[in-house]
Copies of this chain bind each other. A is one copy, B any other.
Amino acid sequence: MGKHGRDINFKPTVNDIARVAGVSLATVDRVINHRPGVRNVTIERVHKAIKELGYVRDTAAANLARGRVYNFHFLLPESNNEFVAMLEQQISELSDVMAFERTKLSFERVPAFDPQAMARIISKMVPQDVDGVAIFGPETPSVRDAIDQIKKHGVAVVALVSDLPSSERDHFVGIDNIAAGRTAGQLMGHFLAGGRKKVLVVTGSMLARDHLERRLGFDQVMTESFADVDVLPSLEGRDDPKLLERLLPDAFATTPDIAGVYSSAAGNAGLINFLQRNGLDDKVIVVGHELTSLSREALAQGTFDAIISQDTGHLIRSTVRVLRAKSDRLPINISQERIRIDVYLKENMPPLCG
């Protein structure tokens, strides 16, 4: 250790601050936690000591002492798709772990593509029971207003998967969906390999910001780099496998020479069924979203050629870390919280479980 700089091994505590500042523990605590009832002179002295000693509070000890319990609630769309089911699964798994770290997780399904329902449910939440909410839903004025309102009551808010940038949400946990669409486009372009080709884009809903952004990115790349590919208008499948299975025959009848499908939303089951039943699985290049048990099988069999994905475990863990940081007004490690755009070929699929 150098004679001058602080000893790296010495971790000052509130006691040290109190001693150096010449005040009591309680006063140090008041200053640290911005509580009233301390003279400005004293505040100054404490701050000086804090800076001098390089004090950093021990969050674990603090939480232990105050017996703080964090309550976080997830709002997920009520659509019958594997991706949301995986999110739920991750929430319950993490819930078991976090129970021993004073953090309680819960979730609730909200009617899909129904902004009013979402707004209603957000507004009904009681700040006393909830420290933070993660919202996976559509971006509309009513939702935005509901968010801004509970934010005012001190509830931390995170947008999950699909961003809500017009609202006051504290953070967005999810991928850059424009870039995801661009990635899909790049893969599609390369895999189609030359010649005039037609590509069908299957989306979920025009209300879903994530779907819109993916389509946008996909189109960008196709225009920029693969001008000989025709991108057909979106097929709106509402993340519903059955609806999709009804819509697809028509689309393929109208345009029989479709060479590629970009499935930018959920409801892959319908697409896979249709392709396999019509013997199109080897002929058509398919780029899909989200690695689920269904899509991984399709990838393994060659029905799908690539999958763009986001790690559900990371999404949920990140959400909880961010919600915790925000409700404690602590900074977050932005690089740890950045969700990657995963690209899976059949070769680099992670093993299914455990």
Q: Which of B4, B56, B186, B333 contacts A346 (CB 8 A)?
A: B186
A to B CB contacts below 8 Å, 6 in the list: A1-B131, A60-B61, A186-B345, A190-B190, A313-B336, A343-B344
A228 CB within 8 Å of chain B:
no
Q: Which of B7, B64, B182, B346 contacts A60 (CB 8 A)?
A: B64
CB contact under 8 A between A354 and B334, given known A71-B2, A185-B347, A186-B347: yes
Interface 1/0s, chain A 125-140, versus B by CB < 8 A?
A: 0011111000000000
Residues from 121 to 170 in A contacting B, C-beta threshold 8 Å: 127-131, 154
A residues within 8 Å of B by Cβ? Answer: 1-5, 7-8, 11, 56, 58-61, 63-64, 66-71, 97, 99-101, 127-131, 154, 179-180, 182-183, 185-187, 190-191, 193-194, 217, 221, 308, 311, 313, 317, 327, 333-336, 338, 340-348, 350-351, 353-354
Q: Which of B129, B217, B335 contacts A313 (CB 8 A)?
A: B335
Find out whether the CB atom of A69 lies under 8 angstroms from the CB atom of B348: no
A2-B68, A308-B348 known; 11 new pairs, CB 8 Å cut-off, are A2-B69, A2-B129, A2-B327, A3-B71, A4-B66, A4-B69, A60-B64, A186-B347, A193-B194, A335-B354, A340-B348
CA distance A255 to B327 in the complex (A): 62
CB-nearest residue of chain B to A353:
B335
Find out whether the CB atom of B347 lies under 8 angstroms from the CB atom of A1: no
Find out whether the CB atom of A317 lies under 8 angstroms from the CB atom of B338: no
Find out whether the CB atom of B335 lies under 8 angstroms from the CB atom of A68: no
Find out whether the CB atom of A61 lies under 8 angstroms from the CB atom of B64: yes
**Residues of chain B with a CB closer than 8 A to A180's CB:** 348
**Residues of chain B with a CB closer than 8 A to A190's CB:** 190-191, 193
Q: Which of B130, B131, B308, B340 contacts A342 (CB 8 A)?
A: B340
Closest Cβ of chain B to A217, distance in Å, is: 8
CA distance A327 to B344 in the complex (A): 34
CB contact under 8 A between A333 and B97, given known A3-B71, A64-B61: yes
